[in-house]
């Protein structure tokens, strides 16, 4: 029998399938969401169960400014992707750089908070259950911000070399999906750590 084509009838088939980059990224986001869920459950389960201090009430301050930084980076990356789609590579570059700056500012915020907690409050990951769950949950999120920033910086470098064109908009969209996810996770982490857990 014919080894290849299984063409059955000469008719036009209307054929649309989703874009694989988006599907892959949504699947990855599903997996990451499951990982974060377990860490969030562990955090909530251990709230108030530490045998020794310091407690969240004693040492945590709400990082309002850096939260605003991270959340507004979602807006800038959205506008960046949009301007690339419209063909404006220049404003894409500016907005993309702003996104990186806002993400880096957030990381600086986390770093300075950790520095204060470790050197002034004496809270480390092995001090008590609060320390263990706090550093691992916030750290896991911070790690995802770092990974996102590496990805964004690679695109930025390519943009500076003039290699990003408007037909790359779909790929940039995929990366921005990840960045939106990182921001959305922060909303959950923020609520759990600074609102419910305090």
Partner 1 sequence: MSADVITLPATELASRPIVARLHEWVTTVDHKRLGILYIIYALVFLMIGGIEACVIRIQLIRPHNDFVSPQVFNRMFTMHGTTMIFFVVMPVLFGFANYLIPLMIGARDMAFPRLNAFSFWMTAFGGLLLYFSLVGANGLYGAGNAPDVGWFAYAPLTAQTFSLGHSTDFWILGILVSGFGSIGTAINMIATVLCMRCPGMTLAKMPLFVWLNFVMAGLVILAVSPLTAAQIMLLVDRYLGGHFFDTQAGGSAVIWMHFFWIFGHPEVYVLVLPAFAFVSEIIPVFSRKPIFGYSVMVGATVAIGFISMSVWAHHMFTVGMGANVNTFFVLSTMAIAVPTGIKIFNWLATMWGGKIEFKTPMVFCIAFLFQFLAAGLTGVMLSAAPFTWHLGNSYFVVAHFHYVIVGGILFSLFGAFYYWFPKMSGKMYSETLGKLHFWLFFIGFHLTFDFMHVPGLLGMPRRIYTYEPGRGWDTWNLIVTVGVFFQAAGILVFLGNLLWSYFRGKAAAGDPWDAWTLEWSTNSPPPAYNFHTIPKVQSRRPLWDLKHPDDPDWKYE
Contact residues for partner 1, defined by CB under 8 A:
1-9, 13, 15, 17-20, 23-24, 27-28, 30-32, 34-39, 42, 45-46, 49-51, 125-126, 128-129, 132-133, 136, 140
- What is the b/e burial string over 151-180, where b = at least 16 CB atoms within 10 angstroms of the residue's CB? ebeebbeebeeeebeeebbeebbbbbbbbb
**Cα separations in angstroms, 94 against 76, 84, 181:** 9, 11, 22
Give me the least distance between CB of 135 and partner 1, in Å please: 8
Give me the least distance between CB of 124 and partner 1, in Å please: 8
List the one residue out of 189, 91, 63, 92 whose CA is nearest residue 133: 189
- Of 13 and 150, nearer to partner 1 (C-beta) is 13
Give me the least distance between CB of 109 and partner 1, in Å please: 22
> Cβ–Cβ contacts within 10 Å for residue 70, how many?
24
List the one residue out of 153, 173, 167 whose CA is nearest residue 80: 173
- Of 99 and 133, nearer to partner 1 (C-beta) is 133
Give me the least distance between CB of 74 and partner 1, in Å please: 23
- Of 31 and 195, nearer to partner 1 (C-beta) is 31
- Of 50 and 72, nearer to partner 1 (C-beta) is 50
């Amino acid at each position: 029998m014919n080894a290849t084509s299984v063409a059955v009838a000469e008719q036009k088939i209307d054929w649309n399938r989703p874009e694989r980059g988006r599907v892959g990224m949504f699947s990855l986001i599903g997996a990451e969401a499951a990982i974060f869920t377990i860490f969030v459950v562990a955090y909530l389960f251990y709230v108030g169960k530490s045998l020794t201090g310091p407690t969240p009430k004693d040492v945590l301050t709400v990082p309002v400014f850096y939260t605003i930084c991270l959340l507004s980076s979602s807006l800038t990356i959205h506008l960046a992707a949009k301007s690339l789609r419209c063909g404006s590579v220049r404003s894409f570059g500016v907005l993309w750089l702003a996104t990186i700056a806002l993400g880096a500012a957030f990381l600086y915020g986390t770093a300075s908070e950790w520095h204060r907690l470790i050197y002034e409050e004496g809270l480390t990951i092995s001090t008590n259950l609060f320390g263990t769950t706090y550093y691992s949950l916030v750290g896991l999120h911070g790690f995802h911000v770092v990974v996102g920033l590496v990805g964004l910086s690679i695109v930025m470098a390519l943009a500076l070399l003039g290699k990003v064109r408007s037909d790359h908009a779909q790929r940039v969209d995929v990366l921005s999906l990840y960045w939106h996810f990182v921001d959305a996770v922060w909303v959950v982490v923020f609520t759990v750590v600074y609102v419910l857990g305090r």
